[in-house]
Structure 1
Amino acid sequence: MSLNQEHRPVQTGDVYLIGNLAMPCLYKIGHTQRGVEARIAELSRSTSVPTPFYLILALRTYQPRIVEMQVHSRLSAYRANRAREFFEFPDDRDAAIAFLTQVVDSGVYEPVTRRPQVAIDPEPEEILSDEERARRTREMREEGRRQISLMRASLDAGDA
């Protein structure tokens, strides 16, 4: 029987590393007992996040909260904000290496399965110049105004 199983109730869950194309070089390290996909969906629903999060790596373990705390502590030099679970790394590969190294070296990680979940690389987001972004914004606003005008005309004509 493992140390974690002897002294604590067994809680399996996942520690995960996720990214977001709107936040390059920032990665969230967290844990969940509900399932990684459900957690990513929950985080991605927030109106303060412009694009959905994507999974880089998840490891199933016993005592995921304790593993997460150890990893956060061991990666504190990379933490973007002490009050948040975001860490700064140059890219997905470096983030995954740092995450895996710290999980395994944490001293509390016990794999539930031998194979970690690894996600497929997300589609790269199109990089736009400031001019192109401004042009697209103008077009979207113009289209919105056009739709509003059509709706008003329809209401005025009694079609709706």
Structure 2
Amino acid sequence: MALNVIEPGWLYVIANPAMPRVCKVGFTTREPEERAAELHDTGSPQPYHVVAKWHVDDVRAAERRAHAALDRFRTDAGREWFALPADRAVRALDRLHGSTTRPTIARRAWRILRGVVEGLGWLTLVLLIAGI
């Protein structure tokens, strides 16, 4: 039985000027710009850029809704690439998630707290391994 993990993050639309009629719709718990940079490292002819992003409370559910709304445009079943210009994808997703926004103060505080807790976890692990 799979766990239904709910966590805040970003739903995004990423595009590449070399492929004007194709865009990627996905999610990340990091900054979408980091994800776009990673995609460029896969050998693409030009860098990817974030066209739009929405901060959401449940990234996996948001991505499922987005993919369902755009399903008829998928380039391949089960993939995150869609055969439509990025601006059309953004308009469709704006209807689902509202206009693109920056995270609220509460969401930023959550991300900071999560980072601190994760950092303390790593520090504890290192100290346990070191025998301190």
TM-score normalised by L of structure 2? 0.66
Match of 1:18 in 2: 14
Equivalent residues of 2:6, 2:58 under 8 A apart: yes
Residue by residue over 1:97-137, the C-alpha shift from the partner in whole angstroms, topping out at 9 and shown as x without a partner, is: 12222345xxxxxxxxxx6259xxxxxxxxxxxxxxxxxxx
Equivalent residues of 2:70, 2:89 under 8 A apart: no
Residue by residue over 1:50-86, the C-alpha shift from the partner in whole angstroms, topping out at 9 and shown as x without a partner, is: 1111111000011111110111012111111113211
The size of the alignment, in residue pairs, is 99
Structure 1 distance, partners of 2:75, 2:95, is 19
Q: Which amino acid aligns with 1:43?
A: L
- Of 72, 96, 118 in structure 1, the residue corresponding to residue 90 of structure 2 is 96
Q: Which amino acid aligns with 1:57?
A: A
Q: Which amino acid aligns with 2:11?
A: V
Task: Give me the CA root mean square deviation.
Answer: 2.1
In structure 1, runs of 5+ residues without a counterpart are 1-7, 105-114, 119-160
Residue by residue over 1:5-51, the C-alpha shift from the partner in whole angstroms, topping out at 9 and shown as x without a partner, is: xxx7651100001110111210100000011111111111112x111
Q: Which amino acid aligns with 2:96?
A: Q
In structure 2, runs of 5+ residues without a counterpart are 103-132
User: Would the alpha carbon gap of residues 9 and 29 (structure 1) be closer, same or farther in structure 2, given more than 3 Å must change?
Assistant: closer
Structure 2 distance, partners of 1:103, 1:81, is 24
- Of 36, 39, 46 in structure 2, the residue corresponding to residue 43 of structure 1 is 39
TM-score normalised by L of structure 1? 0.55
User: Would the alpha carbon gap of residues 9 and 79 (structure 1) be closer, same or farther in structure 2, given more than 3 Å must change?
Assistant: closer
The DSSP-based 3-state class of the residue aligned with 1:75 is: helix
User: Would the alpha carbon gap of residues 9 and 88 (structure 1) be closer, same or farther in structure 2, given more than 3 Å must change?
Assistant: closer
Identical aligned residues as a percent: 28
Q: Is the aligned partner of 1:66 residue 2:61?
A: yes
